[in-house]
Amino acid sequence: MWSWRAWKRQRTLRRHQVSDQQWAQALQALPLLDGLGAEQEQRLRERSLLFLAEKTLTPLPGLELSDHDCLLLAAQAQLPLLGLEELGWYQGFHELVLYPDDFVSPQKYRDPSGVEHSWDAEHSGEAWEQGPVILAWPGVEASGGWDGYNLVIHELAHKLDMLNGTANGLPPLHRGMSVERWAEAMQQAFDDLNRQLDADEQTDTLIDPYAAENPAEFFAVTSEYFFSAPDVLLQAYPQVYRQLQAFYRQDPLERLRLSESTGNARQHPEPGLQP
- Give the nearest distance from C-beta 46 to Zn ion in angstroms: 28
- Residue 79: HSE in the Cβ half-sphere, 13 Å Cα cutoff: 32
Nearer to Zn ion, 46 or 213 (CB): 213
Query: Which single residue brings its beta carbon nearest to Zn ion?
Result: 220
- Give the nearest distance from C-beta 108 to Zn ion in angstroms: 16
Give the count of residues interacting with Zn ion (CB under 5 A). Answer: 2
Nearer to Zn ion, 27 or 211 (CB): 211
Cβ pair 134, 97 in contact under 8 A: yes
Nearer to Zn ion, 52 or 133 (CB): 133
- Give the nearest distance from C-beta 273 to Zn ion in angstroms: 13
- Residue 135: HSE in the Cβ half-sphere, 13 Å Cα cutoff: 27
Cβ pair 270, 248 in contact under 8 A: no
Nearer to Zn ion, 69 or 217 (CB): 217
Question: Does residue 136 belong to the site contacting Zn ion (CB under 5 A)?
Answer: no
What separation in angstroms does the CA of 90 have from each of 74, 221, 232? 12, 18, 27
* 144 burial level (CB within 10 Å; 0-12, 13-18, 19+): buried
Task: Sort strands 125-127 and 133-136 into parallel, antiparallel or unpaired.
Answer: antiparallel
The DSSP line for 166-182 is S-SS---PPTT--HHHH
Per-residue contact string for residues 206-225; x = within reach of Zn ion by CB under 5 A? -----------x--x-----
Nearer to Zn ion, 18 or 229 (CB): 229
- Give the nearest distance from C-beta 10 to Zn ion in angstroms: 36
Nearer to Zn ion, 26 or 189 (CB): 189
Determine how many CB atoms are found less than 10 A away from the CB of residue 185: 20
* 11 burial level (CB within 10 Å; 0-12, 13-18, 19+): exposed
Nearer to Zn ion, 223 or 243 (CB): 223
- Give the nearest distance from C-beta 258 to Zn ion in angstroms: 29
Nearer to Zn ion, 220 or 256 (CB): 220
* 227 burial level (CB within 10 Å; 0-12, 13-18, 19+): buried
- Give the nearest distance from C-beta 32 to Zn ion in angstroms: 19
**Closest by CA position to 193, among listed 181, 182, 184, 204:** 204
Which helix (H) or strand (E) is 117 found in, with range? Answer: strand 116-123
- 3-class DSSP state of 13: helix
- Give the nearest distance from C-beta 87 to Zn ion in angstroms: 24
- Give the nearest distance from C-beta 107 to Zn ion in angstroms: 13
Binding site for Zn ion (CB under 5 A): 217, 220
